Structure 1
């Protein structure tokens, strides 16, 4: 396409926005409402996914080493664990370190455990993390069968429930977003269809004088793009403002926990770019689908 022709299409697309003021307002309003809902759902679901990922990463296998194992036996055990596929890390924690952690976890009441410092009943531990947290339930039984392993702990029973809940939550989130996007496409397409229907005579005249289908489509395609982008502006501003306030309140109270929200930056910029893209694509799709029937003369 020549630059001059594209400029003409661009100019016509902009003119259409101002020429059909009320229809433009109706279309932009429909886009704004639907994209605001999409933006809110995306923000919530992406933060839930963030929480779920952090919870999954905290899943670990605690391998209690038999007290009879020598340092050489411990090295061999570590090598055997490393030989298992999908192992991300193996960290050694001595029984002295384990006792300190136990005392610290009980706070003031933990002082009573200080009596065990002279005769520590705890065991040395290997803390194992799988590269894929879901593999934990497969890796743990393999380690349990190895020599010099006294006990293996990974939250058996609870971990499986956690992974099942997280998976269900993600699937529900994807279904909601897909449904919302479909609704947005339907609403925006119908709104744009009304705009184009009011100009059907103009399209038919252009077709009769020999204009090609794409020559007619381009101004409407660009108009749909502009409508989608304009409709995304208000949701972006609202999400910028609201998320900034919510992020400040939540993270000040939940600082240091796994329930921290996604960082303000670059998250809001990613959401903004996504809303602009969705708005533009749906606007163009709505224009193309709406004008199609009027090109069949």
Structure 2
């Protein structure tokens, strides 16, 4: 395609936006409203997903060592645990440390047991994939000198099922909202192009190729998508910045934490811009195709 033709397409796309003022406003408004809804929903779902990840990462396995195990046996157990597939982290806790934890949690009265410590040495293990915690726990139970393996059996599986269901529902809702947004915006852009069908027919009758007719409309769809995405990007950025500034100090040290503004907002804004462009181009492409057969 010649440079002069490209310039002509860009010029015509800009002229068309200005020439069809109300229809352009309607298309941009449709993109703005739907992308704002999609953006807000994505912010909510991504922060809920982070909370779910925090819950999963908090799951760990506690393995207590048999009293007959000597130091060499404990060291061998630690080597076995570190060499296991699917294990992310292994932390050894002697029976003295275990007693110190109990004293800290339940009071100094338990300090009497320091003279004759009844507790066992323990290992705290985290799986590389928290969802695989039950499988890793079963493997650990087969090791020699293992007294007990505890990870919240039964409750952990139910927790993972709830979290997975929540993620799947959230993903389905986002996809459904995106599909609805694409449908609504495409129809709005289609109305704009239907109003100009005579222009397309005349261009075809004088010998214009399909690409020559189509490109200005595709460019127009890009501009509509970009213009429609700008306002939602600004609104969500300002709102999330203020929300993060207000809530982060209050949530410090708590279980639930908001996603950091960077790079989350950059990623979200980039995604919304791409969605706006895609929806604009798709709506224009599908709408103009109908009128190219003259």
TM range, smaller chain: over 0.9
Corresponding residue for 1:210?
207
Give distance in 1, aligned partners of 2:102 and 2:224. 60
Shift of 1:82: 3.4
Q: In the alignment, what sits opposite 1:41?
A: 41
Deviation at 1:250, TM superposition (A): 2.3
C-alpha deviation, 1:96, in angstroms: 1.8
Task: Kindly state the Cα deviation for residue 249 of structure 1 after the two structures are TM-superposed.
Answer: 2.5
Question: What is aligned with 1:5?
Answer: 5
Deviation beyond 6 Å, 4+ runs, structure 1: none
Distance 2:133 2:103 in 1: 27
Aligned to 1:116: 113
Aligned to 2:155: 158
| 2:144 maps to 1:147 | yes
The residue correspondences of 1:16-27 to structure 2 (distance < 5 A) are: 16-27=16-27
1:230 is the counterpart of 2:218: no
The answer on 1:265 being equivalent to 2:258 is no
2:100 and 2:7 map into 1 onto residues whose CA distance is 72
Tell me: CA distance 1:5–1:100, structure 2 relative to 1, closer, same or farther (3 Å).
Answer: farther
Counterpart of 2:291 in 1: which secondary structure?
A: helix
Distance 1:254 1:112 in 2: 34
Gaps in structure 1 of 5+ consecutive residues? none
Determine the C-alpha separation between the residues in 1 that align with 2:114 and 2:54.
Answer: 33
Residue in structure 1 matched with residue 96 of structure 2 by the alignment: 96
Q: Give secondary structure in 2 for the equivalent of 1:156.
A: coil
What is the TM-score when the length of structure 2 is the normalising length?
0.96
d(CA) in 1 for partners of 2:2 and 2:94? Answer: 73
Number of the residue aligned with 2:50: 50
Residue aligning to 2:134 = 137
Cα distance in 1 for residues equivalent to 2:266 and 2:125? 36
Matching residue of 1:15: 15
TM-score, normalised to structure 1, is 0.95
Identify which of 221, 228, 252 aligns with 1:255: 252
| Unaligned runs of at least 5 residues, structure 2 | none
1:74–1:18 CA distance, 2 compared to 1 (3 A) = same
Q: Structure 1 CA distance, aligned partners of 2:108 and 2:216? A: 77
Indicate whether 1:275 and 2:272 are aligned: yes
In the other structure, the counterpart of 2:70 is 70
